[in-house]
Amino acid sequence: MDSVGPLGLQQGDGAPGCPQEALPCPSNSSELVQECLRQFKVTGAQLRQIQASFLDSMEQALSGQANPAPTVRMLPTYVGSVPHGTEQGDFVVLELGAIGASLRVLWVTLMGTEGHRMEPQSREFVIPQEVMVGPGQQLFDFAARCLSEFLDALPVGNQCLQLGFSFSFPCHQTGLDKSTLISWTKGFRCSGVEGQDVVQLLRDAIQRQGAYSIDVVAVVNDTVGTMMGCEPGAGPCEVGLVVDTGTNACYMEEARHVALLDEDRGRVCISIEWGSFSDDGALGPVLTTFDHILDHESLNPGAQRFEKMIGGLYLGELVRLVLAHLAQRGVLFGGCTSPALLSRGGILLEHVAEMEDPSAGAARVHTILQDLGLRPRASDTELVRHVCAAVCTRAAQLCAAALAAVLSRLQRSREQETLQIAVATGGRVFERHPRFLSILQETVMLLAPTCDVSFIPSVDGGGRGVAMVTAVAARLAAHRRLLEETLAPFRVTCEQLAAVQAQMREAMARGLRGEASSLRMLPTYVRATPDGSERGDFLALDLGGTNFRVLLVRVATGGVQISSQIYSIPECVAQGSGQQLFDHIVDCIVDFQQKQGLSGQSLPLGFTFSFPCRQLGLDQGILLTWTKGFNASDCEGQDVVCLLREAIRRRQATELNVVAIVNDTVGTMMSCGYEDPRCEVGLIVGTGTNACYMEELRNVASVAGDSGHMCINMEWGAFGDDGSLGMLSTHFDASVDQASINPGKQRFEKMISGMYLGEIVRHVLLHLTRLGVLFRGQLTQRLQTRDIFKTKFLSEIESDSLALRQVRAILEALGLPLTSDDALMVLEVCQAVSQRAAQLCGAGVAAVVEKIRENRGLEELTVSVGVDGTLYKMHPHFSSLVAATVRELAPRCAVTFLQSEDGSGKGAALVTAVACRLAQMTHV
Ligand code: 0WK
Ligand code: BGC
Ligand code: BGC
């Protein structure tokens, strides 16, 4: 008598053949078979338990639970929408892994909504066993060779072909064309591939093959291809179910339920990878000893347990193990076995499907068993059919339990009591097995009675679906290329930034010498930064930024106290008459004095006037030109201190004593200089942008004296107005400049500051929409509205803490019709525009600090820069990009950026205090 194997199964000496003397057919062979097959019976309760445990595992994985790791993977596939049939074009599809030991290449032509359906051309190539378990490079080279062989037969010429790669194994996808293999399944076990990006491996192999120019634009799991290939009339299918050598399903989940994704809108296709489902509690009771043997002898013991009970690669094996067991016990075939019966893979899915097919008579079963080297007796054929039926029925029922869990998940994620859904099915188990689909349908109806499910067989194994995804990927790839081309001019190189720095240095030198230069280098008559001895109460005005502020500044030994009030400057006043503007300013001052109980008190007043002024003294400033949307008449060329004093006179607010006018850069430098005496540069990046710094008086041609310092207001906003920034200016900058109230002016400012960045972004978005890259090409009225895209949106959209979902919310509030990819592209546009602005600003600061270092003939310079302005303060990355650019371009300067807390009003008060102190000293 043969020994009993460790699993308690009869294990003949394994040698095929018959026992010495033929074993009579035991009378109870049928019971013996039934008793053996009872193991494959799965009760309704067990199926429901599997369904429930499966659903739990799905939801644990969706929520990103890692410990214990759920046994189904729930992998996002980056396919965000079911096909809307508009896809067009010729695509090559390479299928690897869907159909066991062979790969398939297809040529698919998509005709869009209008055209009729074109039959894909395809060819199948058998993969040699040694290639399936050899080095990964060998497998991908084999695939690339098959690709060429297939294309050799087609008139493709040397056009660049777009390829969709259907790779039917568990992969972590990070994009439509980026996918890392987690683990092989289904008889594949090539080395050097797990953990690698399989798209890159294929691209490298195609490169090595070098026969055709093929662009691999998408990698797709076969379930996704099956779902996407669903006949438009029948669908849309929102579940893809494959039972071929392996088994798996995908479905459209609400993106907000997928923790891995930073999406809250729309749906995303999830590849469940249910082959790895195992839950001892639920599956343990239905696993038979044959399942354990099969798993133990498989290439990946312990893995894909669920798949090994359903997949076509295993159904034949399970039947073989049962038949071998029954034969060795003399229950079947008179105890005879055969090499096919005793060797792995001896019985294939085709055998099982045919033997179970009611239309295939006993004779056909007999023939098949004979072809397997067996000598079946008449009674054997029916018993064999029972074995096939038991194995396949269980497979279909288990598949149904999993599918029912998916349907329950869909009901939950869509909060629907009932669900009407189309499931695309693919794979040879469906095609070849006569009853698999019907058992599946019946069981699903039992387990998911509130779901109305229609099963749509995929017409060509998903090749079309893969082509659909490839078409979408190709469109997205084309969009990405157009986005990159559009944003390329904003990518400023280090060399270009160094050139800007050098040009700014030359312009500074020319400006200081009083020669023609786009940098006016205006002396401010501030000769020193505060030394802490300033004292007194001062009124200060702060005009030119986002807000107009009136301040009371008390400078005392204990420090500086400020109380202030913001007043608005309506556009009609900013662009009205100068008299109206200055009368409005004085009204605000008087209102402030009343509120502060200062009425009648004569306090020295410092006026931060943030516009280019040629100063003739501390309290004399001739407005050269308005900027930042101001355009009040009869002011340019006027001394604004006089204009203010006239308005004060008109208002009889005689107690107001204007002592100093300062630029906001100077006010900011002084304000920060009060805390840090090394602060010798003032920088504003707000509505406008500008900088000032302490220059050696000897270098200032327009002011007498060779010793000491003079703070110079560079008015760098106008840098490049002589065309010197032409090489960096884009046609978007030109559009913004043309549409501004001062075209041709403030070109540097218009590439950097808050008043313009939003507009630059809007023009880029318009351009990309016209190209069809964004917003489905819909040019909405809102997007064509000037200034609708505020610069603060850039700061919000680029903040790291903001998920794409919030980016979407901002854009939707703008009434922009978003697709899921749009938000990401808008974010990239904002990043490109703000990054260039910060780098250009950094190049400017580098020019200034290097000037100071060289002025003082220092090897190393330590200096602080006082900064203010909404853009600099609010944008999440602007300040760090400026600092990084300065480190790059001025490595011998240790620069500290001090964000001004109290604005330049305090600075204006300090300048006034210094002026008052100097005035007292001269009067003493
Ligand atoms: C606050 C300063 C003010 C300056 C403004 C610039 O107190 O003088 O003009 O920053 O920033 P913005 O308000 O334009 O963003
Ligand atoms: C793979 C899946 C694939 C399924 C059907 C499984 O072994 O892990 O990715 O979808 O087989 O081909
Ligand atoms: C003005 C400067 C000012 C800067 C920042 C520019 O438009 O010309 O004077 O410093 O904006 O507010």
Which domains are assigned to the chain?
Answer: 46-70+277-457 (3.40.367.20), 77-222+462-480 (3.30.420.40), 490-505+731-859+871-893 (3.40.367.20)
- Ligand 1 centroid to Cα of residue 544, in Å, is 7
Q: Number of C-alpha atoms within 13 angstroms, CB side, residue 48?
A: 8
Q: Report how far residue 667's alpha carbon sits from residue 526's, in angstroms, rounded to the nearest whole number.
A: 10
**Distance in angstroms (rounded) separating the CA atoms of residues 47 and 213:** 50
**Which listed residue (460, 639, 664, 902) is catalytic?**
664
Ligand number, closest to the Cα atom of 878: 1
Active site residue 639: no
pLDDT (tens digit per residue) in 295-335? 999 989 999 999 999 999 999 999 999 999 999 888 889 88
- Residue 165 alpha carbon to ligand 1 centre in Å: 55
Q: In what order do the strands lie in the sheet with 689-696?
A: 522-523, 709-713, 689-696, 679-685, 861-868, 893-899
User: With contact defined as beta carbons under 8 Å apart, do 752 and 840 qualify?
Assistant: yes
pLDDT value at residue 110? 83
pLDDT score, position 735 = 97
User: pTM (2 decimals)?
Assistant: 0.80
Q: Which atom of ligand 2 is nearest to the CA of 250?
A: 10
Which of 385, 549, 836, 853 does the annotation list as catalytic?
549
Residues of the chain with pLDDT under 70: 1-17, 19-28, 81-86, 113-117, 231-235, 262-265, 461, 654, 801-803, 805, 921-924
Q: Give the CA dihedral 428, 431, 437, 438, nearest 10 degrees.
A: -150
Residue owning the nearest CA to atom 3 of ligand 2: 168
Please report the pLDDT score of residue 295 as a whole number: 94
Identify the residue whose C-alpha is closest to ligand 3 atom 2.
611
Output the CA 419–ligand 3 centroid distance in Å.
62
Ligand 1 pocket, residue 544 CB under 6 Å: yes
Residue pair 2/23 in contact (Cβ under 8 Å)? The answer is no
**812 C-alpha to ligand 1 centroid (Å):** 30
Is there a contact between 392 and 435 (Cβ–Cβ < 8 Å)? yes
* Distance of alpha carbon 166 from alpha carbon 732, whole angstroms: 41
CA-closest candidate to residue 451, choices 414, 397, 398, 399: 414
Q: Is residue 122 annotated as part of the catalytic site, yes or no?
A: no
**Residues with Cβ within 8 Å of residue 832, at least 6 apart in sequence:** 487, 490, 491, 764
Residues within a 6 A CB radius of ligand 2: 98, 168-170, 185-186, 221-223, 242, 244, 246-248, 273, 275, 307
What per-residue confidence (pLDDT) applies to 529? 77
CA 208 – CA 205 distance, rounded (Å): 5
- Ligand 2 centroid – CA 73 distance (Å): 12
409 is catalytic: no
Q: And the tokens for 914?
A: 């210094």
664 lines ligand 1 (CB under 6 A): yes
Handedness of CA 543, 545, 546, 550 (dihedral sign): negative
- Ligand 2 atom nearest the C-alpha of 246 is 11
- Which token pair is 27? 């009378």
